[in-house]
């Protein structure tokens, strides 16, 4: 079984919150009531978008493990106006504290037609922002945020749009479908 979930902002990528017994933090169990499925990879609490859930351990490994180089595409709202040099650095790969990243595919986008985020992204008249489509083939902790910050483009909003051939297309936040 494979489930595509549009994980909303603020939701933990796990079914229980081990922080406290009566935690108010939302988890996957607030959205998916299917027994014995687990996330294939993670998506930070402050990120949104496609999360794959499966009951097949081998499929989970093929999706999540970096050795399989499964492409993951993100729509990234960044602070600033990206220069060609900044984009070129992302395309070559950058060196983070945990080592060099693989090269990314990146291009500027017009603002995508996405659902409103709750709470909304902060808006500042004096600081421009831009949207990027960025594809990576690894999945380190907060990698896209760290990569864009490394080149001087802090991330304001991060939406994972696709993993391999699976995409969010047609799924509203909190909705899921089995494929």
- d(CA 135, CA 90) in angstroms, rounded, equals 10
Out of 17, 22, 30, 44, the active site residue is 44
Angle 36-38-39 from CA coordinates, rounded to 5°: 165
Is 46 an active-site residue? no
Q: Name, in order, each residue with C-beta under 8 angstroms of 129's C-beta and a sequence gap of 6 or more.
A: 77, 78, 79, 80, 156
Contact between residue 2 and residue 170 where contact means Cβ atoms under 8 Å apart? no
- The Cα 136–Cα 150 span in angstroms is 15
Instruction: Give the residue numbers annotated as catalytic, written as ranges.
Output: 44
């Amino acid at each position: 079984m494979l489930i595509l979930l549009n994980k909303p902002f603020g939701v933990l990528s796990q079914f229980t919150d081990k922080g406290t017994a009566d935690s108010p933090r939302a988890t996957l169990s607030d959205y998916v009531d299917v027994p014995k499925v687990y996330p294939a990879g993670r998506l930070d609490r402050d990120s949104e978008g496609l999360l794959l859930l499966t009951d097949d351990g081998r499929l989970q490994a093929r999706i999540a493990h970096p050795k399989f180089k499964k492409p993951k595409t993100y729509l990234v709202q960044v602070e600033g106006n990206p220069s060609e040099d900044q984009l070129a650095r992302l395309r070559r790969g950058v060196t983070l504290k945990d080592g060099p990243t693989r090269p990314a595919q990146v291009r500027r986008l017009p603002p995508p037609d996405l659902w409103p985020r709750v709470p909304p992204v902060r808006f500042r008249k004096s600081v421009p922002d831009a949207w990027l489509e960025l594809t990576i083939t690894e999945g380190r902790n907060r990698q896209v945020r760290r990569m864009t910050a490394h080149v001087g483009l802090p991330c304001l909003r991060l939406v994972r749009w696709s993993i391999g051939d699976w995409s969010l297309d047609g799924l509203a936040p909190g909705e899921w479908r089995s494929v």
